[in-house]
Amino acid sequence: MSTRYKFTYKGQEVNLSSDFDNGALAKIQEVDPNTFDIWPYEENEYQGGFIKMKPVDLDRSEPDSANFCFHFCVSNCKNKQLIFRFHLKEREKASDVSVVYANPDFPVYSYDGKDWQRMERKELSDDSAKNGWQIITTTQRFREDKAYVAYQYPYSLDHLENYLGTIRESPFLKIENAGETTEGRLIPQVQITDEKFPIGKKKVAWFTGLQHCTELGAGWGLEGMIDFLLSDHSIAGKAREQYIFKIIPIVNVDAVSEGRGRIHRTGRNLNREWEKTDPVMEVVMIKKTMNDWMAKGNPVDVFIDFHGFSVVQDQNWVFPVLPMETYNGKKVLQYKYLIETIKKYIPFASFSEQVSQGLVSGAVGREFGALAMASDGYVYQWPEKGKTPDLSSYYQNASKVWELDEIKACGANMIKALVEFAHS
């Protein structure tokens, strides 16, 4: 398995390491005792408005774009005040999308890798040493000997496996897997339903998340959805009665474990692989799992590929949906009703048709006949309509970043919508 970009930096008093599951960082330098300059990516990796990662496949000549991210562990830090100076080039030119558009208010830290909180003491400044670069400076005194620091609330493979261990005794849950990854890791999948009710009369809803491994709201939102489905809430009981839920929280397991920014280790984008003749192994395995399911006479009624979760109106929760001509007859009416029902429970969501060739939602809609769509959403408020999020505007507006529990809780709204839709 790849250990790309994993290393430990030994400082004067503390050590900083990316050598663990989901760890990621490009470069560290201690400029003064306990003051660290940190580069999440190398300067020469920024090209044309994107971070271009070096090719992993030596047969590929072109690098591939990645999202901005970092996740490292600090050890021997108890009662020490540390200063981190994150260096980044946000964009090459004004028309470029910000490389930190998904989360311009970082970092977060945790003592156990489970409970995360924001660093409140931070400021933005221009980098005098590099034209066009900026520095986010954060100051934090740590209470424990070890702490984790990350770009966003990390959703790692280790976390998912530990989480599944805490819920495995639920009578409504089955822990499965959807095959193996390119590097031989298992792809965790869960099934949730109440088997006291006839299976043959139920709808089947299949969810996937983290095809892009830094779109972390998907993992947390699906975990919150699982929490709700296993709860004693009356609507959760209705959901288990009416549906079989198949949930894959992490599709891009290898990239999540390696701490990659977005793309699979082969340089391929998993959400562009679903209708290729030679797709990457993860897609092969998940499609086989779905085909095996249908070969037993089971349907796939609803399919949603989650790229993010968000909470209120200015959160820009967008649902790319398939063109209506994907369906015919009764399914057109069902698809319209599904969209209207989701709008009822998520009234701030916007919907737009999307050319979906090769994307998982389009592939599942065409190949498996499911009512399919994708969802996306930011984890912070962005009140400036029509303006691309950026660091300077964020720090000026001081927009709120959602707490992790809020991101998890919003998954329940989707379940409520599906319960009402089941009556159609």
Dump pLDDT digits (tens) for 313-331: 455 678 999 999 999 999 9
Domain-by-domain residue ranges, the chain?
8-150, 157-421
3-class state of residue 296 by DSSP: coil
Please tell me which residue, 170 or 44, carries the higher pLDDT value: 170
Strands (E), 225-277: 243-248
Q: Is the pLDDT of residue 210 over 70?
A: yes
Give me the amino acid identity at 20.
F
Looking at residue 347, its pLDDT comes to 81
Q: How confident is the model over 18-23, as a mean pLDDT?
A: 94
Q: How confident is the model over 57-86, as a mean pLDDT?
A: 83
Q: How confident is the model over 162-177, as a mean pLDDT?
A: 97
Mean pLDDT across the chain: 89
Contact of 54 with 63, CB cutoff 8 Å: yes
Contact of 412 with 225, CB cutoff 8 Å: yes
Per mean pLDDT, which of 223-232, 269-278, 388-397 is the most reliable? 223-232
Of the candidate ranges 56-60, 114-118, 365-369, the one whose mean pLDDT is the lowest: 56-60
Contact of 256 with 22, CB cutoff 8 Å: yes
Q: How confident is the model over 220-238, as a mean pLDDT?
A: 97
Q: Is the pLDDT of residue 4 over 60?
A: no
Q: What is the DSSP string of 316-337?
A: --EEEE--GGG--THHHHHHHH
- Cα–Cα separations (whole angstroms), residue 82 to 78, 127, 182, 267: 10, 20, 38, 35
Looking at residue 249, its pLDDT comes to 97
The CATH number, out of the four listed (3.60.15.10, 2.60.40.3120, 3.90.1200.10, 1.10.10.10), of the domain defined by the range 8-150: 2.60.40.3120
pTM for this predicted structure: 0.92
Looking at residue 61, its pLDDT comes to 52
Looking at residue 3, its pLDDT comes to 45
Domain topology for 157-421: Aminopeptidase (3.40.630)
Looking at residue 392, its pLDDT comes to 79
Looking at residue 1, its pLDDT comes to 37
